[in-house]
């Protein structure tokens, strides 16, 4: 494990900070979605850890679904290409849909996804992101719920990956390539 975490040693957000923030987000959502038909849509794979914790902090009846989208090809740069790898397994018409994202970066993924979901006639559509990098935005997308606003560094852990690794870290770390062997 020490070899594995060497490139992600610098902790940006601790496990405790994550859990405290997610409790708060859950409380806000609980207040706002009372008597609504809440459907959480998790964007795979990065947001799966966040979804699992967030849904347990929402004290309301709710349903979940998943969509898998790829925008990064094993690198730290956005390709600008968005592809649907797995679509939702149900009709979202009439649901109060809340998109659950790990991180809002350039905004390209969501700016592609939102019109597509609106076409399917949900009752409402909002965005909840754990992390927001506003300085990197290339298209105007705003989150309705945002956990942490962070500077522009490449981060891993708590669902976020570098080339599919590090998703299982229980903290959010700054990714740095180390030359040591
Ligand atoms: P956007 O389309 O540029 O907003 O990118 C959103 C997606 O890019 C996220 O759901 C992540 O999968 C990925 N991403 C953006 N920044 C980072 C990062 O710092 N670390 C890991 N993944 C990232
Ligand atoms: Mg990713």
pLDDT in 10s for each residue of the chain, 181 residues: 677 888 999 999 999 999 999 999 999 999 999 999 999 999 999 999 999 999 999 999 999 999 998 775 555 555 566 789 999 999 999 999 999 999 999 999 999 999 999 999 999 999 999 999 999 999 999 999 999 999 999 999 999 999 999 999 999 999 998 765 4
Report helix, strand or coil for 17: helix
Instruction: Put the strands of the sheet holding 155-156 in their side by side order.
Output: 10-13, 172-174, 155-156
What's the 95 CA to ligand 2 centre distance in angstroms? 26
Minimum-distance ligand 1 atom for the alpha carbon of 105: 4
Beta carbons of 91 and 60 less than 8 angstroms apart: no
CA of 75 to the centre of ligand 2 (A): 9
55 lines ligand 1 (CB under 6 A): no
94 burial via Cβ count (<10 Å: 0-12, 13-18, 19+): exposed
Q: 160 CA distance to ligand 2 centroid (A)?
A: 6
pTM for this structure? 0.93
What does the alpha-carbon distance between residue 86 and residue 89 come to, in Å, rounded to a whole number?
9
Residues classed as catalytic: 105
Regarding the beta carbon of 108 and ligand 1, being less than 6 Å apart is answered yes
Ligand 1 near 46 CB (within 6 A)? yes
- Cα separation of 30 and 50, whole Å? 16
pLDDT reported for residue 111: 93
What pLDDT was estimated at residue 178? 78
Q: What pLDDT was estimated at residue 181? A: 47
- For 52, which DSSP code? H
Ligand nearest to the CA of 107: 1
Q: Could you tell me the distance, in angstroms and rounded to a whole number, from the CA of residue 145 to the centre of ligand 1?
A: 17
- Atom 12 of ligand 1, residue of closest alpha carbon: 46
Q: pLDDT at position 154, please? A: 95
């Amino acid at each position: 494990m020490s070899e594995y975490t060497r490139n992600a040693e610098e902790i940006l957000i601790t496990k405790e900070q994550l859990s405290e923030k997610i409790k708060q987000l859950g409380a806000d959502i609980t207040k706002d979605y009372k008597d609504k038909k809440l459907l959480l849509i998790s964007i795979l794979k990065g947001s799966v850890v966040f979804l699992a914790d967030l849904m347990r902090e929402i004290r309301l009846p709710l349903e979940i679904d998943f969509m898998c989208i790829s925008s990064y090809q094993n690198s730290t740069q956005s390709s600008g290409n968005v592809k649907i790898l797995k679509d939702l397994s149900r009709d979202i018409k009439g649901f109060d849909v809340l998109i659950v994202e790990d991180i809002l970066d350039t905004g390209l993924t969501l700016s592609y996804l939102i019109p597509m979901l609106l076409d399917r006639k949900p009752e409402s559509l909002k965005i909840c992101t754990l992390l927001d990098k506003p300085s990197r935005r290339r298209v105007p997308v705003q989150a309705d719920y945002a956990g942490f606003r962070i500077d522009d560094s490449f981060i891993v852990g708590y669902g976020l990956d570098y080339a599919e690794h590090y998703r299982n870290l229980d903290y959010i770390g700054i990714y740095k390539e180390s030359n040591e062997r």
